[in-house]
Amino acid sequence: MSTVFDHHQRILEALSYIPPDCERDVWFRVAAALKNGEGEAAFETFDTWSKASPNYSAADTRDTWRSIRPDAGITIATLFAIAKQYGYNTRSKVGTVVDPKEVERRRAERDTRVAQDAQKREVKRKHAASLALAVIEKAGSARDDHPYLLCKGVSAVDTLREMDAAKLQRLIGYRPQCGGSHLEGRILIAPVTISGAITTVEMIDESGRKSALANGEKAGGCWFACALPEKSERILIAEGVATALSAHLCTGDAAVAALSAGNLMKVAQAMRAAHPDAEITVLADLGNGQQKAVEAARSVNGKVALPDFGDKRADNETDFNDMHTRFGAAAVASQIKQATKPDSGAPSDQRAAGATTAGEGELEAHYECRQDGLYFVGVKVDRDSGKTLYVAPLWLCSALEVLGDGRDEAGRQHRVLRWHRKGNREEIHHAMPNADIGEREGWATMRSLGLSVAPGRAARERLAYYLQEEGGDVWHEITGMTGWQYGAFVLPSGEFVGKPSCPLVYNGGVPKKSAYLAAGTVESWKSTVGELARENPLVTAAIACAFAGPLLSIIGARDGIGLHFYTQSSSGKSTAGDCAASVWGEPRGIMHSWDGTSFALSRTAEYANDGLLYLDEIGAGDARKIGPSIYQMLNGVSRLQGTKSGGVVASRSWRLTLISTGEVGMSQYLSEGGLTPRAGQEVRLLDVPADGGEHRAFDCIHGRKDGDEFSTELTVAARTNYGTAGRAFVAWLMTHRNEVEPWVKATQDDMLGAIDSEHPNAAPIVKRATRKWGVLVAAAEMASEAGLTGWTRDDARTWVMSAWARWLQAFGTKDRDQERLLEQVDGMLAANERSRFQEVYQDGGRSTCTGAILGYVRYDEGKRPTFDVLPSAFKTEVIAGFNERQACRALHQEGMLAKPKGHNGWTTYAGRLLGRVYRLSRRPVIDEK
């Protein structure tokens, strides 16, 4: 049996090399590595090891352990790397040998524990939020005579509540504590809010002892000293409740309390996301929280204000509340007014040099965002002096902002990042999957998008932790799809038309995003492309197809709409395609080829959701791939895919319009490739002849010498003015959305009425295709009504319906699948009558066959043949590719298949020797006269 060394034994061996009185930063990383490697069960290991330190504190060890998330980015590999620095040999063979299955079982148990712990934490957070709401509801309004407020020299506000300690204990089920002492007397209740939802409460007793609800979510949350106006000119962010109250009462500005120095940046970024135009001023506490305030202000391009106590500052005077009680409201307001933007990130004081900046234990390791990048500044205790020092900053990556968290359509968690690409300074918004943080693929993606990342392992571990735990916590929705998303329209360039209903990040992978940028104006497009397209049904139909994309989701269309323009070369069909493409972007840039894999074609279709997909020259593709791809692209549903864990990847869906060109029709191309075209393909990608005009693709060349000159001028116009009409049309739809569906339905009903009047026996597939043409006609009318084309509404209707009439003339009104069946069966009988059918004579004799027998043939006095086809040959050859029951019904209706009386099936008994057969006749010839 193959065995491996017990991983737990190796962990214990490595841990034995690390001194428990190591630097606190190293001690923390050991804890995080153990929790990642063995989950909550590893606390006993960590605690036992920590007890050997002379500085051991049971409470500190427990609290530190609880603060660490097992997926925080520091893995068990960190433990071995630290141990190696103290002499541990990673190649050591010491350890207990265990079965690999046991290792897998332990790993599965660890993963289960992590998932269960996360679930338990979520349940506890929800319970704490519910409890917070109950506390707020039962609490009364805070009064100005509260001892804490009197001590701080501030008055109560509407957002502050209070409750007796005994009543609070009965309500929450325990006595809240601070530093081992219970909160007593009248308790102030400050609701803590995250993204508009109350998650916990800050509780402050008469003596200033503070506590929060057990298991309540506080990170990124804040208390509002007043209700924030929708358009706030200035927002003050303080560390504590008393400071926020002083700031609000002294200035009249909106103020919030972040409740801790480490939370300042997250609150500042949340305020910036909610109030992008407001001036944000962070009120720093002197000492340990000062640098955190500077970093918070810098992260939102805000200002920082420091209290000024003059030359005689007392040791306990650190914040603006202290300044308020000593100097009064006017001094506080004046000092806050003098707030300035922090420097670009140059090292402040003596941090970078590693000099002492405070007494032992007061410094904290932290991250610094500077102009030249993100740094980690650690701390250490000098062995000689015993003082706490900052170590030299460790560069992690180029300047980077963490804006918050997000989730994509598949439910995967992301961190939303922003930076400027190295070189051209292009702003990059990137939603990085949490699963990629700290992994090779994640670093590769960031580098490919222009972010410089430190090569060292230690730096990358610090960066991984920062990406997961630091920065903003604004919630975003992540979408990889273009089109209508959360109330806005996402363009393939990553731009939004309209304002999303929530923070939104487009993380799609559209090739050539720059091709979807705009050039020219709506007026220049209308006066060139729109003007030249007048009175040209093929071109106006192509443009209508481009405008129809955004309508599909609004009307609840089940599938997309495709037009395939076909005729010989140099007719102008590609010019029509370019005009359609110019609605959304640069035609050459957004044009794709049919020459690709089925997967690539479907992915390209996804990126055109609610828009236009432009595919040139169907002849370049493989007919065997194109046939299925037509269904997939225009059905708008991705293939099912499995996952490594045995699950199924959630399918993706989209809706689009498609313009295709080629020298032959789609149906003919599939036939030449050995495939039988299906009605479902023909109704999705409509074959439109591109040579029905007086000048082939064009009916009117507006005074130009010939079709070639006109085509060249129109092509140049489309490639010079583009991308503006689509944006303007989407903006118009946002204010006319309720009109779209009834408008389309009325147009479809009119066109179906015309079909019923002129072609009462038209096949269902013809009516289905006509409904699609109705969407195109309505789209052209709407774009004209919006003033985007230069055409009148009646003009648009007339020209696009002319293109519909040409399609109808070429397609016909019969059921195409049924016609193919009848042609196939009649052709099979005619081609094989003398070679693969045995003639049965009157005397019972038979002729010989020269090929594999299909059945038997008899002739009446008029020499008209009747074919008795063997069941196996009928199913596998005669009606190959068609459903048997539907084929039999169609053949019988056409008079080609006899149905015996008194028998439910379609076979006829032809005697003891021949058995049951399908009795067929040739297709009746209709007299043209």
Domain co-membership, 190 together with 285: no
Over residues 838-867, the mean pLDDT reads 85
> Hey, how many other C-beta atoms are within 10 angstroms of the C-beta on 478?
21
Domain co-membership, 16 together with 66: yes
Name the range with the highest mean pLDDT among 137-146, 535-544, 598-607, 917-926: 535-544
pLDDT in tens, 637-651: 776 665 555 555 566
> Is 647 part of a structural domain of the chain?
yes
**Which residue is listed with tokens 């003339």?**
809
pLDDT in tens, 514-559: 899 999 999 999 999 999 999 999 999 999 999 999 999 999 999 9
Domain co-membership, 615 together with 728: yes
pLDDT of 308 > 80? The answer is: yes
> Is 16 part of a structural domain of the chain?
yes
- Residues 910 and 886 sit within 8 Å (Cβ to Cβ): no
pLDDT of 360 > 50? The answer is: no
Q: What is the DSSP letter of 341?
A: -
Residues 168, 207, 259, 230, CA torsion sign:
positive
Domain co-membership, 617 together with 640: yes
Q: What is the DSSP letter of 494?
A: S
Position 41 scores a pLDDT of: 82
- In sequence order, which ranges of 563-706 are alpha helices (DSSP H)? 573-581, 587-590, 598-606, 623-635, 666-672, 679-684
Domain co-membership, 388 together with 336: no
Which residues are 660's β-sheet partners? Answer: 564, 615
pLDDT in tens, 29-86: 899 889 888 888 889 889 888 888 877 888 778 878 887 877 666 888 888 888 887 7
> Is 772 part of a structural domain of the chain?
no
Domain co-membership, 485 together with 521: no
Name the range with the highest mean pLDDT among 112-126, 188-202, 283-297, 616-630: 188-202
pLDDT of 315 > 80? The answer is: no
Position 926 scores a pLDDT of: 61
C-alpha to C-alpha distance for 419 and 509, rounded to whole angstroms: 18
Mean pLDDT of the chain: 86
> Residue 89 is which amino acid?
N
> Is 537 part of a structural domain of the chain?
yes
> Is 761 part of a structural domain of the chain?
no
> Is 777 part of a structural domain of the chain?
no
**Which residue is listed with tokens 């571990």?**
461
What residues have CB less than 8 Å from 697, skipping those under 6 apart?
Answer: 536, 538, 539, 565, 567, 571, 572, 573, 575, 576, 690, 691, 707, 711
Global model pTM greater than 0.75: no
Q: What is the DSSP letter of 843?
A: T
Position 587 scores a pLDDT of: 96
pLDDT tier for residue 379 given thresholds of 50, 70 and 90: confident
What residues have CB less than 8 Å from 831, skipping those under 6 apart?
Answer: none
pLDDT of 1 > 60? The answer is: no
pLDDT of 359 > 50? The answer is: no
| Rounded-to-5 percentages of helix, strand, coil across the chain | 45, 20, 40
Position 448 scores a pLDDT of: 92
Residue 207 or residue 742, greater confidence: 742
Over residues 723-734, the mean pLDDT reads 96
Question: Which of these ranges, 85-89, 234-238, 384-388, has the smallest mean pLDDT?
Answer: 384-388
> Is 707 part of a structural domain of the chain?
yes
Residue 262 or residue 1, greater confidence: 262
pLDDT of 346 > 60? The answer is: no
Structure-token pair, residue 798: 């007339």
DSSP string computed for 397-412: ESS-EEEEEEE-TT--
Domain co-membership, 137 together with 173: yes
Burial of 651 (0-12, 13-18, 19+ CB in 10 A): exposed
pLDDT of 205 > 80? The answer is: yes
pLDDT of 323 > 70? The answer is: yes
pLDDT of 172 > 60? The answer is: yes
pLDDT of 775 > 90? The answer is: yes
Q: What is the total count of domains within the chain?
A: 7
pLDDT in tens, 652-711: 789 999 999 999 888 888 877 777 777 778 888 999 999 988 899 999 999 999 999 999
Structure-token pair, residue 234: 């200035």
Among residues 191, 218, 245, the one where a domain terminates is 218
Domain co-membership, 520 together with 497: no
- Which range marks the domain in which residue 309 is found? 220-342
Which residues are 177's β-sheet partners? Answer: 182
Position 624 scores a pLDDT of: 80
Q: What is the 3-state secondary structure (H, E, C) of 428-493?
A: EEEEEEHHHCCCHHHHHHHHHCCCCECCCHHHHHHHHHHHHHCCCCEEEEEECCCEEECCEEECCC
What residues have CB less than 8 Å from 542, skipping those under 6 apart?
Answer: 563, 565, 576, 577, 579, 580, 659
The proportion of the chain whose per-residue pLDDT surpasses 70, expressed as a percent, equals 91
Domain co-membership, 527 together with 638: yes
Residue 56 or residue 562, greater confidence: 562
Among residues 98, 116, 148, the one where a domain terminates is 98
pLDDT in tens, 397-437: 999 999 999 999 888 899 999 999 988 888 899 999 999 99
pLDDT of 908 > 70? The answer is: yes
Residue 180 or residue 159, greater confidence: 159
- Residues 226 and 255 sit within 8 Å (Cβ to Cβ): yes
What residues have CB less than 8 Å from 439, skipping those under 6 apart?
Answer: none
pLDDT of 229 > 90? The answer is: no
Domain co-membership, 184 together with 279: no
Domain co-membership, 603 together with 577: yes
Among residues 717, 736, 755, the one where a domain terminates is 736
- Domain CATH for 584: 3.40.50
> Hey, how many other C-beta atoms are within 10 angstroms of the C-beta on 111?
12
Residue 172 belongs to what H/E stretch? helix 165-172
> Is 771 part of a structural domain of the chain?
no
pLDDT tier for residue 383 given thresholds of 50, 70 and 90: low
- Residues 814 and 679 sit within 8 Å (Cβ to Cβ): no
Domain co-membership, 529 together with 673: yes
